[in-house]
Copies of this chain bind each other. A is one copy, B any other.
Amino acid sequence: MPALSAQRRDLDFLLFDMLGVQGLTRAPRFVEHSRETFGAALDAAQEIAEREYAPLNALLDADEPRMVNGEVRLPAELKPALAKALAAGFNAATFDADQGGMQLPQVVAQSCWALFKGACVAADTYCSLSIGVANMLSRFGTPAQRATYLGPLLSGRCFGTMVLTEPQAGSALADVRASATPLAHGGYAIRAQKIFITAGDHGLAENIVHLVLARLPDAPAGVKGLSLFIVPKYRVEPDGSCGAANDVVLAGLIHKMGSKGTTSALLQFGAQGACVGELLGEPHQGLACMFHMMNEARINVGIAATMLAAAGYRHALAYARERVQGRASADPRSNPVPIVRHADVRRMLLAQKAIAEGGLSLCLQGALWADEQQVADSAQARDLAGALLDLMTPVIKAWCASQGRVANALAIQVLGGYGYTRDHPVEQHYRDNRLNSIHEGTDGIQALDLLGRKVGARGGEALAALGRLVASTIAQSRLSPPLAELAAALERAWGELHDTTALLVRELPRAPQLALANASLYLHVFGHTVVAWMWLRQALAAASRLESPDQAFHQAKLAATHYFFRYELPQTRPLHDLLRRLDPLLTELDDAVL
């Protein structure tokens, strides 16, 4: 798997040379760790990714989940592969050592899981959802709930899901109708029809723990009336063993264009009146709770999208080095050359690299903020890291998803006709990655979150803090003459973003529809600007390592940085003009006029 080795090499660079995550080992929580233990975890993940997950990728796509006798049938090869990752402890990667966890920082654990995603994202999804549910129980569960579910979720005896969407309520969670009625002897009777439930049913584990959004009687309308319930597929006996079925019925499967290996189910809860759940967290606080899981899932989506982009890039690069086609001169008697010599192919390769590795570095920066939110020295620093993570989550999710798709389209293009066939993996990457702009909140929802809530939150505190970080990179780059020009370009771009943001945030209370009309384009501009920042940081780390034996690796980082600054970042300029004009075209349009 040369692709995964290359990705591992890049992760090492991003984690240790750019982000300096080894600094986390100064925090008491990670004091037992070192760069070596981080590396060992990555080694173990890489081996499982290569040996267990990679062979599954095409297989899960070709043999999608089927419904047989009311249950989901998956390829037999999936369960033993997941068992390897579970046995190695990767579901418990961030959990405390005394819970049997590795007590790794988020940013290192995410890097391990990223290798799984790069090999077979459909397989990894079953585990990543279970980890999300374990984190939720760990944070919001009662001691009894934790005792019942946490161990099985971390060991893989039990898998988890998040259950939000209903046929009439996709992006609009305010319209969720699922009901929860208190029962005389404790617990709640759950009634719900849910759709698009990822990993909603399967035979991979003894039990499945669904976290279900539903309304208590007399709950207020809208999202403030949602509560969260733990609803197992099989009731759990006092000794922890699985009991009777809990009236959670598989009503159908969704047949998708890609990401086929991940089951997507229609589930009916309580059709027989016999589905029992327990409340997780406080009544009517369900959405706030769920957002903890959702935000984690959004980082996961960003990483999956960039790892798919990286997988496509690596395949296209290997192909371009081998495939001989066309000539460097007009003389037909000259020898044909590998297509990596053609400028247009190089452009497509650099574009993919810039998206994949630039996006991944942004995701990992997000994960590092998640760690700093927990372990930074001061309350202020922890608070700020949390605010930065909140600010960046929609950008990580939506920018990586939409740009990852662009990268995967280019991978197909490098292969030409061969790339369009099912004999190469790039067409699957393209289909798989299309999902990432949709699930866990569409690109449009992320954009409204960013511009409508995040940038203006607490007086724009997080954006200002981000601006200070960007300014520090700019100052550092000015000291390195070859990067000074890029520093100036980033300073201009940041200034533009600052001004556009100020204008839109000022307009929001007066004319929210108009200010938010082009939120998606705002997110695109925001993403391009922060990814330029990430590339400048990568360039700084690479420029100081040009004398190392791995010179080509570092020069490639500089080439991708230059590509991003010359080809991508300037595209934000006309979008700033558009955003500032508060153009009423979209808001004033008559519905009939389309």
| A448 CA / B343 CA spacing, docked (Å) | 11
Q: Indicate if the CB atoms of A257 and B332 lie closer than 8 Å.
A: no
| A589 CA / B332 CA spacing, docked (Å) | 24
| A513 CA / B587 CA spacing, docked (Å) | 46
Q: Indicate if the CB atoms of A594 and B172 lie closer than 8 Å.
A: no
User: Hey, which chain B residues are within 8 Å of A431, CB to CB?
Assistant: 257, 431
User: Hey, which chain B residues are within 8 Å of A325, CB to CB?
Assistant: 168-172, 175
Q: Indicate if the CB atoms of B257 and A422 lie closer than 8 Å.
A: yes
User: Hey, which chain B residues are within 8 Å of A479, CB to CB?
Assistant: none
| A477 CA / B500 CA spacing, docked (Å) | 32
Q: Is A559 an interface residue (CB 8 A)?
A: yes
Q: Indicate if the CB atoms of A592 and B256 lie closer than 8 Å.
A: no
Of the residues B170, B174, B349, B574, contact of A417 by C-beta under 8 Å: B170
Q: Is A100 an interface residue (CB 8 A)?
A: no
1/0 contact trace for A346-367 toward B, CB 8 Å?
A: 1101100100000000000000
Identify the closest chain B residue to A424 (Cβ). B257
Q: How many residues of A contact B (CB 8 A)?
A: 95
| B-facing residues in A183-211 (Cβ within 8 Å) | 195-196
User: Hey, which chain B residues are within 8 Å of A571, CB to CB?
Assistant: 571, 574
Q: Is A498 an interface residue (CB 8 A)?
A: no
Main secondary structure, interface of A, reads: helix
Q: Indicate if the CB atoms of A438 and B421 lie closer than 8 Å.
A: no
Surface stretch bound by B, among A145-153, A300-308, A333-341: A333-341
Q: How far is the CB of A178 from chain B (nearest CB, A)?
A: 16
| A559 CA / B326 CA spacing, docked (Å) | 44
1/0 contact trace for A418-437 toward B, CB 8 Å?
A: 01111100010011001101
Identify the closest chain B residue to A405 (Cβ). B409
Of the residues B332, B412, B435, B589, contact of A174 by C-beta under 8 Å: B332
User: Hey, which chain B residues are within 8 Å of A292, CB to CB?
Assistant: none
Q: Indicate if the CB atoms of B590 and A563 lie closer than 8 Å.
A: no
User: Hey, which chain B residues are within 8 Å of A412, CB to CB?
Assistant: 434, 438
1/0 contact trace for A139-172 toward B, CB 8 Å?
A: 0000000000000000000000000010011111
| A578 CA / B573 CA spacing, docked (Å) | 13
Of the residues B347, B416, B423, B435, contact of A171 by C-beta under 8 Å: B416
User: Hey, which chain B residues are within 8 Å of A434, CB to CB?
Assistant: 409, 412, 420, 427, 430
Q: How far is the CB of A253 from chain B (nearest CB, A)?
A: 10
Q: How far is the CB of A446 from chain B (nearest CB, A)?
A: 11
Q: Indicate if the CB atoms of A556 and B447 lie closer than 8 Å.
A: no
Identify the closest chain B residue to A566 (Cβ). B583
Q: Indicate if the CB atoms of B442 and A343 lie closer than 8 Å.
A: no
Q: Indicate if the CB atoms of B326 and A171 lie closer than 8 Å.
A: yes
Of the residues B172, B405, B413, contact of A437 by C-beta under 8 Å: B413
| A585 CA / B561 CA spacing, docked (Å) | 11
Identify the closest chain B residue to A195 (Cβ). B417
| CB-CB under 8 A for A421 and B517, given A223-B332, A325-B170 | no
Q: Indicate if the CB atoms of A420 and B257 lie closer than 8 Å.
A: yes
User: Hey, which chain B residues are within 8 Å of A382, CB to CB?
Assistant: none
Q: How far is the CB of A431 from chain B (nearest CB, A)?
A: 7
Q: Is A285 an interface residue (CB 8 A)?
A: no
Q: Indicate if the CB atoms of B416 and A438 lie closer than 8 Å.
A: yes
Q: Indicate if the CB atoms of B587 and A417 lie closer than 8 Å.
A: no
| CB-CB under 8 A for A591 and B556, given A518-B347, A520-B347 | no
Q: Indicate if the CB atoms of B438 and A417 lie closer than 8 Å.
A: yes
| CB-CB under 8 A for A347 and B172, given A422-B257, A430-B434 | no
Q: Is A552 an interface residue (CB 8 A)?
A: yes
Q: Is A75 an interface residue (CB 8 A)?
A: no
Interface residues of A (CB under 8 A from B): 165, 168-172, 174-175, 195-196, 221-224, 254-258, 317, 321, 324-327, 332-333, 336, 338, 340-347, 349-350, 353, 405, 409, 412-413, 416-417, 419-423, 427, 430-431, 434-435, 437-439, 442-444, 447-448, 513, 516-520, 552, 555-556, 559, 562-563, 566-567, 570-571, 573-574, 577-578, 581, 583, 585-587, 589-594
What 18 additional pairs, Cβ within 8 angstroms, besides A170-B417, A573-B573?
A: A170-B416, A172-B327, A254-B421, A257-B430, A321-B591, A340-B591, A340-B594, A346-B586, A346-B594, A349-B594, A350-B585, A413-B437, A416-B438, A417-B439, A419-B438, A430-B434, A555-B590, A556-B594
15 chain-A/chain-B pairs, Cβ below 8 angstroms:
A168-B325, A221-B332, A256-B421, A340-B594, A343-B518, A345-B444, A350-B586, A353-B594, A405-B409, A417-B438, A417-B439, A555-B593, A559-B594, A570-B574, A571-B571
